[in-house]
A and B are shown apart, each in its own frame.
Chain A
Amino acid sequence: MANLKTNEKKTKAQSMGMHTEVLTGRTQQKFFNPDEAENFYYFGTYDVDFNKRTDLDVKEMSAPEANKEIDNLMSQGYGTIVIKNPQGKHSLGVGILNKLNLIFEGSLGYFGMGSCDGPTVRINGRVGWSCAENLMAGKVVIEKNAGSCFGAAIRGGDLICKGSVGARTGIDMKGGTIIIGGDAGAFTGFMMQRGRIIILGDVGINLGDSMYDGTIFIGGSIGSYGSDAVDAELTKSDQDWLTRKLKVAEIGENFDVSKMKKIVAGKKLWNYDNLEPTEKKGAI
């Protein structure tokens, strides 16, 4: 009997030793010099120029084809790409880990701009469910309305909708800022763990239900509070930050931020302390 294991072709990861290295039970150490050459971009990303602009008509393309073409244009150094005729296609512009100025002339379907890390995006239309899901960094601006689960599980960056949004905005978010110029639906900030949500209009029922941490600012009326969502005092630092953020979002220039309500977690459902009782020793 031939030993099948010996005949198996090694994957690239196996040949790099990633499957043989024992990582359990010890700290993995990587050393780097903080004074090494100044670099602002991830290793292996494209060096693009914002002044180099091109158009891309995706009318006859599928979403994967369009996304690959965006990647191809970035590899040629295009820093500003205008997407024509997106026609509500799903999953457009996903997985961009580069600095980029991306403009959609039209509306997107579900999961548009998901899992991105870095680009500045403007969508001159509407978006469907779960826009910018898992956004890591960057700025996404939607000129009109958005569907449900807007900014689901985002980790960082600014997500702005100038119109109104559906239910479960910012569900499970772990960082970043979501800014809504209009109203928001039920269960806004459901199970959020950190980050900030700003809603200039009204919000539906069960606001901040089961939130672990993070902050929600509301300009209009609140349908009802969710479990463990409580009011907090709006500080001067909050007001300064809100004024600054709304300027960045290009909405609510004359909005009186001092009248906004601040909602935080009551922290009765929350148990970070139990997760690491021995770790909170204090340092520095």
Chain B
Amino acid sequence: MAKKKTKVKTKVKSKDKKEKKLKLGTFKETAREKLIGQHIGYRYDVNLLPDYKRITPFLKKYVEAMGWDDLNWLEDVHMGYEEDRPAVFCRNANGWVTIPKSIKLPNNQQDRDMIARELLVKFQMSPKHPLVDLKKAYLKF
């Protein structure tokens, strides 16, 4: 009897470990924490610098249209999570924009950040952004 019990416990533990490794908030960020020697308490590492080799064609066009030399304010945009779903924070709407399920997310944070940046620009420039209604209501001149 005793032998059987120990077998069950080890099986459950190894399953838990596998699940933990798959979650961004646990395994991947812990690796980053080890690298930078700092604990990350927020939903993403705010100090992660962008890898410009991974910039998307849409973001290239956006930067060019704005007359900037780099990602500018988008350097501070990262993919986090909201209610167990991948999301990006929109500072203008003061809320999280969840990523559509149709978008397949890559395996590393740098590529995920580029997707978050692209999606955030599209959301902020959309006529359906909450600020559009606020602007109509409160615009003074």
Contacts and interface: CB of A to CB of B under 8 A. Distances in A.
A282 B67 CA distance: 37
A158 B72 contact: yes
Interface stretch (B1-9, B10-18, B124-132): B124-132
Interface residues of B, number: 64
Given A34-B122, A101-B67, A158-B72, A44 B46 contact: no
Nearest to A233: B37
A226 interface: no
B73 A136 contact: yes
B107 to A, nearest CB: 10
A270 B141 CA distance: 41
B56 to A, nearest CB: 12
Contact of B66 (A40, A176, A280): A40
Contacts of B49: 237-238, 241
Contact of A280 (B41, B52, B73, B134): B41
B85 interface: yes
Interface in B44-76: 46-47, 49-52, 58, 61-62, 65-70, 72-76
A138 B93 CA distance: 19
Contacts of A4: none
Contacts of B62: 40
A233 B126 CA distance: 41
Given A214-B47, A283-B23, A155 B73 contact: yes
A132 to B, nearest CB: 13
Contacts of A195: 76
B73 A36 contact: no
A269 to B, nearest CB: 12
A168 B100 CA distance: 42
Interface stretch (A10-18, A81-89, A103-111, A252-260): A10-18
B124 A42 contact: yes
Interface of A: 11-13, 16, 18, 28, 30-32, 34, 36, 38-44, 50, 68, 71, 99, 101, 118, 120, 136-139, 155-158, 175-177, 194-195, 213-215, 232-233, 235, 237-238, 241, 244-245, 247-248, 264, 267, 270-273, 279-284
27 contacts: A12-B138, A13-B137, A28-B95, A30-B128, A32-B122, A34-B123, A40-B66, A43-B126, A43-B129, A101-B67, A137-B73, A138-B73, A156-B74, A176-B76, A195-B76, A232-B36, A241-B50, A244-B70, A248-B69, A280-B25, A281-B25, A282-B23, A282-B81, A283-B82, A283-B85, A284-B23, A284-B25
Report the 4 A-B pairs with minimum CB-CB distance, sorted nearest first.
Answer: A282-B25, A156-B73, A283-B81, A137-B73
